[in-house]
Structure 1
Amino acid sequence: MLNKTSGNEVTKARPNVLFVTVDQWPGGLLGCAGHPVIETPTLDHLASIGRRFTNATSECPICIPARRSIMTGTSPRRHGDRTFQPSLPMSKELPTLAETYRRNGYQTQAIGKLHVYPQRDRIGFDDALLAEEGRGALGGVDDYELFLADKGYAGQQFLHGMSNNEYSWRTWHLPEELHVTNWTTWAAARSIKRRDPTRPALWHVSYTPPHPPLIPLASYLERYRARDIDEPYAGDWASEPESLPYPLKLARDYWPQLPAAQLADMRRAFYALCTHIDHQLRVLIGTLREEQVLDNTIILITSDHGDMLGNHGFYAKRLMYQNSANVPMILVGTADDGVVGNGVVDHRLVGLQDIMPTLLDLCGLPVPETCEGWSMISSRKRETFYAEALSGAKAMRMIRDGRHKLIWYPAGSRFQLFDLCEDPHELHDLSASADHREIFKSLQERLRGELYGDDLLAVDGSDFVGLAVPSSPILQNRGLSGQRGLHYPAPPLQDPSVVVGGV
Structure 2
Amino acid sequence: MLNKACGGDYISKPRPNVLFITVDQWPGGLLACAGHPVIETPTIDHLASIGTRFANAYSECPICIPARRTIMTGASPRRHGDRTFQPSLRMPADMTTLAQAFGQAGYQSQAIGKLHVYPQRDRIGFDDALLAEEGRGALGGTDDYEMFLADKGYAGQQFLHGMSNNEYSWRTWHLPEELHVTNWTTWAAARSIKRRDPTRPALWHVSYTPPHPPLIPLASYLERYRAREVDEPNIAGWAVDDERLPYPLKLARDYWSSLPPAQLADMRRAFYALCTHIDHQLRVLIGTLREEQILDDTIILITSDHGDMLGDHGFYAKRMMYEGSAKVPMVLVGVADDKRVGVGVVDERLVGLQDIMPTLLQLCGITIPDTCEGISMVSQDHQRQTLYAEALAGVKAMRMIRDERYKLIWYPAGCVFQLFDLQTDPHEMYDLSASSDHDHVLLRLQQQLRLELYGEDLEAVDEGGFVGLERPASAPQPNRGLSGQRGLHYPAPPLQDPSIIVGGV
Aligned-pair CA distance for 1:236? 1.3
User: Aligned ranges for residues 407-486 of structure 1 at < 5 Å?
Assistant: 407-471=409-473, 473-486=475-488
Task: Determine if the alignment matches structure 1 residue 302 to structure 2 residue 303.
Answer: yes
Match of 1:237 in 2: 238
Deviates more, 1:149-158 or 1:471-480: 471-480
Whether the aligned pair in 1 keeps the contact of 2:28 and 2:329 (CA below 8 Å) is yes
Match of 1:384 among 376, 383, 386: 386
Question: 1:220-255 deviations in whole A, cap 9, x for unaligned?
Answer: 000000000000111111111110010000011101
Distance 2:474 2:239 in 1: 22
Match of 2:361 in 1: 360
**SS of aligned partner of 1:101:** helix
Aligned-pair CA distance for 1:3? 9.2
Aligned-pair CA distance for 1:471? 2.0
Match of 1:130 in 2: 131
Question: 1:88-140 deviations in whole A, cap 9, x for unaligned?
Answer: 00001110000000010000000000000000000000000000000000000
Aligned-pair CA distance for 1:474? 2.3
Distance 2:4 2:209 in 1: 37
**SS of aligned partner of 1:166:** coil
What code does the residue aligned with 1:454 have? E
Match of 2:180 in 1: 179
What code does the residue aligned with 1:153 have? Y
Structure 1 length-normalised TM: 0.99
Match of 1:213 in 2: 214
Whether the aligned pair in 2 keeps the contact of 1:2 and 1:13 (CA below 8 Å) is no
**SS of aligned partner of 1:449:** helix
Distance 2:159 2:472 in 1: 36
Match of 1:195 in 2: 196
**SS of aligned partner of 2:300:** strand
Task: Determine if the alignment matches structure 1 residue 397 to structure 2 residue 424.
Answer: no
Match of 2:266 in 1: 265
Match of 1:77 in 2: 78
Question: 1:312-354 deviations in whole A, cap 9, x for unaligned?
Answer: 0000000000000000000000011111010000000000000
Distance 1:108 1:5 in 2: 30
Distance 2:9 2:100 in 1: 34
Match of 1:20 in 2: 21
Distance 1:461 1:205 in 2: 47
**SS of aligned partner of 1:56:** strand
Match of 1:334 in 2: 335
What code does the residue aligned with 2:486 have? R
Distance 1:5 1:27 in 2: 46
What code does the residue aligned with 2:203 have? L
Match of 2:36 in 1: 35
What code does the residue aligned with 2:182 have? T
Whether the aligned pair in 2 keeps the contact of 1:448 and 1:462 (CA below 8 Å) is no
Match of 2:254 in 1: 253
Judged with a 3 Å threshold, the aligned counterparts in structure 2 of structure 1 residues 472 and 424 are, in CA distance, closer, same or farther, namely closer
What code does the residue aligned with 2:478 have? Q
Match of 1:110 in 2: 111
Whether the aligned pair in 1 keeps the contact of 2:168 and 2:214 (CA below 8 Å) is yes
What code does the residue aligned with 2:337 have? D
Aligned-pair CA distance for 1:10? 2.6
Runs of 4+ in structure 1 deviating by more than 6 angstroms, as ranges, are none
**SS of aligned partner of 1:169:** coil
Aligned-pair CA distance for 1:472? 5.4
Question: Across the two proteins, how many residue pairs are aligned to each other?
Answer: 503
Q: Which runs of 5+ in 1 are unaligned?
A: none
**SS of aligned partner of 1:331:** strand
Whether the aligned pair in 1 keeps the contact of 2:3 and 2:10 (CA below 8 Å) is no
Distance 2:480 2:303 in 1: 33
Aligned-pair CA distance for 1:198? 0.0
Judged with a 3 Å threshold, the aligned counterparts in structure 2 of structure 1 residues 61 and 204 are, in CA distance, closer, same or farther, namely same
What code does the residue aligned with 1:56 have? A
Coordinate RMSD, CA, aligned = 1.1
Task: Determine if the alignment matches structure 1 residue 51 to structure 2 residue 52.
Answer: yes
What code does the residue aligned with 1:464 have? F
Share of identical aligned residues, percent? 79
Distance 1:275 1:474 in 2: 35
Distance 1:312 1:389 in 2: 19
User: Aligned ranges for residues 59-98 of structure 1 at < 5 Å?
Assistant: 59-98=60-99
Deviates more, 1:122-131 or 1:460-469: 460-469
Task: Determine if the alignment matches structure 1 residue 318 to structure 2 residue 312.
Answer: no
What code does the residue aligned with 1:332 have? V
What code does the residue aligned with 2:388 have? Y
**SS of aligned partner of 1:19:** strand
Question: 1:401-453 deviations in whole A, cap 9, x for unaligned?
Answer: 01000000000000000000100000000000000000100000000000000
**SS of aligned partner of 2:485:** coil
